């Protein structure tokens, strides 16, 4: 459950900071992207270079080291994080957090964090049992912080008792279990459309497009892994059913429209990746049209705009995500589609790029959301792209909660 998670690891000043290095390594190995904030006291035990080498990310240790003039670092990294884990959480750090003190990079970032926060205390047994420390922990628990209990045993100070930082493997297991339970998509009813449609001219000829359905299938698979109830409406594609996903096969734009609208009232989130035909033959021949000299004219008519109809009927609790497959001016077309069709998010991609679009195993997309500047994502596999899209969907869910 930590795959592709953005984890902010806060390291405060205690001898157990050496375990935080192992924890950073374990989280990275679990597939998470890990960024580390260190207090000045933590650097007395472990160097920032250690964490940089283990995570391959910048280490933050100074509130005023603003390296990007377009961002405020402690706000930016707090917004970036899917979860915060403080390990070790010293008595000093717990006191600051409980009382809203912000006098360094870590405590300041904690005040700005809106994601789940986990505390892994580590200190002398007498300090741990001190009423002030216990009260601070109770205060933080009351505000939603989740605690990973320290272990009993021999402590660095020579005392024996409760206060040992939980082992890195235990912390990772705890986070995996917690994040699985607390995923914002758990139990949500998600409808995904994927693939092309076939619009028949006669029994053997169709109008269609090169969509393979891979992007939609990847989104359906990742949403199911996040414990959503996923229904996948698929056009004619040659792909296996994603695990845990209910699949409905359709052929034409009209069939897809009927299935989508039937399920829409009971759906929480729609992700419409399908490349549905905009036009269809006005008249479908019952017999194969024979080849003849000269040109052939086929009168066409508009199909129903499924996404626009969904936008018109969208309820307050529903999220609607569309795709914009374009060959130029991708961001502009995506913004226009977002506003015109009453969407919450549009994912634009360049269908002419060699490493993205139809029939490619990778994608390079632009994400447009209401009130935000278009966001360019780097080249990723379609599975990685699906994870990034759903991560932003989770942020929308939390925003509207």
pLDDT in tens, 35-68: 999 999 999 999 999 999 999 999 999 888 877 7
pLDDT value of position 343 = 97
Q: Average pLDDT in the 166-170 region?
A: 93
Q: What is the pTM of this model?
A: 0.62
Determine which one of 132, 156, 157, 186 is catalytic.
Answer: 157
Q: Average pLDDT in the 349-355 region?
A: 79
Mean pLDDT of the chain: 91
Residue the block writes with tokens 């008249």: 283
pLDDT value of position 364 = 87
- Domains of the chain by start residue, with CATH: 6-182 (3.40.50.1950), 189-400 (3.40.50.10300)
User: In sequence order, what DSSP letters do the residues of 94-155 get, joined into one string?
Assistant: HHHHHHT---SHHHHHHHH--S-EEEEE---HHHHHSHHHHHHHHHHHHTT-EE-PPEEEE-
pLDDT value of position 164 = 87
Residue that wins the pLDDT comparison between 258 and 74: 258
Q: Average pLDDT in the 123-148 region?
A: 93
90 Cβ neighbours under 8 A, 6+ residues apart: 12, 13, 14, 41, 121, 122, 123
- Identify the band that residue 239 occupies on the pLDDT scale cut at 50, 70 and 90: very high
CB 83 within 8 A of CB 56: no
Closest Cα partner for 214 from 3, 390, 381, 388? Answer: 381
58 Cβ neighbours under 8 A, 6+ residues apart: 35, 52, 67
253 Cβ neighbours under 8 A, 6+ residues apart: 197, 199, 276, 277, 280, 303, 304, 306
pLDDT value of position 361 = 83
pLDDT value of position 357 = 67
Residue 130: left if φ>0, alpha if ψ -120 to 50, beta else—which one?
beta
> What values do phi and psi take at 233, rounded to 5?
-100, 115
**Interatomic CA distance for residues 5 and 8, integer angstroms:** 10
pLDDT value of position 153 = 76
Residue that wins the pLDDT comparison between 399 and 341: 341
Neighbours of 10 (CB within 10 A): 30
Neighbours of 367 (CB within 10 A): 20
**Interatomic CA distance for residues 258 and 276, integer angstroms:** 13
Token representation of residue 400: 């509207």
Is residue 232 pLDDT above 90, yes or no? yes
Tens of pLDDT, residues 181-219: 667 898 999 999 999 999 999 999 999 999 999 999 999
Q: Identify the three-state secondary structure at position 37.
A: strand
Establish whether 145 is a catalytic residue.
no
Residue that wins the pLDDT comparison between 161 and 368: 368
Q: Average pLDDT in the 76-97 region?
A: 94
């Amino acid at each position: 459950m930590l795959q592709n998670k953005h984890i902010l690891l806060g390291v405060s000043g205690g001898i157990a900071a050496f375990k935080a290095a192992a924890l950073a390594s374990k989280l990275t190995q679990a597939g998470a992207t890990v960024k580390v904030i260190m207090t000045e006291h933590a650097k007395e035990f472990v160097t920032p270079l250690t964490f940089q080498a283990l995570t391959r990310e910048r280490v933050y240790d100074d509130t005023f080291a603003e390296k990007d003039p377009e961002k405020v670092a402690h706000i930016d990294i707090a917004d970036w994080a899917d979860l915060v884990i403080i390990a070790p959480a010293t008595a000093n750090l717990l006191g600051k957090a409980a009382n809203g003190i912000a006098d360094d990079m870590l405590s300041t970032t904690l005040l700005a964090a809106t994601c789940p926060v986990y505390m892994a205390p580590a200190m002398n047994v007498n300090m741990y049992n001190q009423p002030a420390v216990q009260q601070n922990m109770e205060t933080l628990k009351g505000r939603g912080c989740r605690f990973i209990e320290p272990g009993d045993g021999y402590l660095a100070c020579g005392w024996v008792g409760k206060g040992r930082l939980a082992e890195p493997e235990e912390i990772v297991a705890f986070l995996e279990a917690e994040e699985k339970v607390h995923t914002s998509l758990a139990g949500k009813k998600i409808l995904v459309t994927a693939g092309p449609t076939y619009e028949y001219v006669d029994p053997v000829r169709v109008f269609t497009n090169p969509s393979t359905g891979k992007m939609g299938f990847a989104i359906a698979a990742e949403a199911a892994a996040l414990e959503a109830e996923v229904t996948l409406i698929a056009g004619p594609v040659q792909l296996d059913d994603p695990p845990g996903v209910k699949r409905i096969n359709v052929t034409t734009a009209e069939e897809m429209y009927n299935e989508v609208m039937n399920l829409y009232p009971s759906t929480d989130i729609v992700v419409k990746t399908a490349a549905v035909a905009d036009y269809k033959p006005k008249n479908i021949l019952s017999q194969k049209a024979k080849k003849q000299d000269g040109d052939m004219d086929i009168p066409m008519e508009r199909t129903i705009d499924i996404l626009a109809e969904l936008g018109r009927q969208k309820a307050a609790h529903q999220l609607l995500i569309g795709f914009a497959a374009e060959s130029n001016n991708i961001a502009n077309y995506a913004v226009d589609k977002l506003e015109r069709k009453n969407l919450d998010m549009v994912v634009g991609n360049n269908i002419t790029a060699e490493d993205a679009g139809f029939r490619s195993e990778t994608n390079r997309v632009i994400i447009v959301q209401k009130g935000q500047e278009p966001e360019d994502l780097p080249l990723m596999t379609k599975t990685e792209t699906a994870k990034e899209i759903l991560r932003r969907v989770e942020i929308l869910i939390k925003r509207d909660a």
